[in-house]
Amino acid sequence: MTSPEKWQNWLASRNRFFSDPAGFLSITTIGWLTEQPQEIVGVSGQWSATGKTISVIYSNGGDFSWEINDDIQIDFDGIKVELAIRNNQMVIRPRDPNSEMLKSFESVITFDYDPKFALTAKLIPFDAPKEIVVGSVVEGMTIGYISPGSVEFEFEGESYRLTAFDKTGTKDLVMIYKDATSGITSYGTGRSVTASYQEDGTYLLDFNYSGNFPCSYTDFATCPVAPIENRLPFAVEAGEKKPLYRNTVNGVVSQVHQ
């Protein structure tokens, strides 16, 4: 079951996520590494990548390298530095706890809790699970997810479906969707919501728990965008709204009127 009290706990967890001093709001840039050494804003050294190995020539302490098979964070130059693979390319993202974007964050901004957006849904399965490839906020980059089928629900007398993705380790399902608020009061590339599996085989689809991806706050993210079929024609005035500020290559800017 859901409730305004449970929702308040969810909001507290979202605020902890975005206020993490080593989280996404602390990222100062993203560097796409090549074999040619390059400087990265916010961290010392000359950085490069060969295959899955990221290396740095560090004038204050020698040369270092790391074999990257999954995202890692290292302590380097007095801050956390993320090393990762995105779209088969090696990337680096310095994370500074004193970043201006992190300092600008006070709390997530949401619509008021509205019980009419807590809906019962059912899974309409494919004959077999399949991979669904979606775009991302990075031009040319795609992300693949495993989908068991579509989640079907009714809202104000009409029936709708959203392509659903597996949520690792659970029977729950995740949807990335857009609606009539997207790009206006909510962030333009879509939000994410979980359909929670119930004992009777149905799902609780509560749009009040619709959350933003980090790309709603920063240009230095590689988040997915909603698949074209997951565009709802009505306004989901529930869950997180568009953040007040955004971190860009030109610094922290307001996005209230964008």
Q: What is the pLDDT of residue 130?
A: 96
Span 122-135, pLDDT tens digits: 999 999 999 999 99
> To the nearest whole percent, how much of the chain has pLDDT over 90?
90
Q: Same domain for 96 and 188?
A: no
Q: What domain range includes position 111?
A: 106-244
In a domain, 252, yes or no: no
- The whole-angstrom separation of Cα 145 and Cα 94 is 27
Q: Is the pLDDT of residue 257 over 60?
A: no
Q: Same domain for 117 and 236?
A: yes
In a domain, 29, yes or no: yes
Q: Same domain for 122 and 233?
A: yes
**241 Cβ contact list (under 8 Å, min separation 6):** 109, 110, 111, 185, 186
Query: Where is 252: in which H helix or E strand?
Result: strand 251-254
Span 210-249, pLDDT tens digits: 999 999 999 999 999 999 999 999 999 999 999 999 999 9
DSSP state of 103: H
Give mean pLDDT, residues 94-104. Answer: 94
Q: Same domain for 237 and 120?
A: yes
Q: Same domain for 205 and 129?
A: yes
Q: What is the pLDDT of residue 232?
A: 98
Q: Is the pLDDT of residue 194 over 80?
A: yes
Q: C-alpha angle 96/192/178, rounded to 5°?
A: 115
pTM, two decimals, is 0.92
Span 154-192, pLDDT tens digits: 999 999 999 999 999 999 999 999 999 999 999 999 999
Q: What is the pLDDT of residue 2?
A: 62
Q: Same domain for 116 and 238?
A: yes
Q: Same domain for 78 and 135?
A: no
Query: Where is 7: in which H helix or E strand?
Result: helix 4-18
What is the tally of structural domains in the chain?
Answer: 2
In a domain, 14, yes or no: no
- CA 117 and chain centroid, separation: 22
Among residues 64, 79, 104, the one where a domain terminates is 104
Span 18-48, pLDDT tens digits: 999 999 999 999 999 999 999 999 899 999 9
Q: Same domain for 65 and 139?
A: no
Q: Is the pLDDT of residue 1 over 70?
A: no
In a domain, 1, yes or no: no
Q: Same domain for 126 and 147?
A: yes
Q: What is the pLDDT of residue 88?
A: 87
Average pLDDT taken over every residue of the chain: 94
Checking 157-162 for CB contacts under 8 A at 24+ apart, the result is 160/232, 161/124, 161/229, 162/229, 162/230, 162/232
In a domain, 253, yes or no: no
Among residues 104, 125, 153, the one where a domain terminates is 104
- At residue 258 the predicted structure's pLDDT band, cuts being 50, 70 and 90, is very low
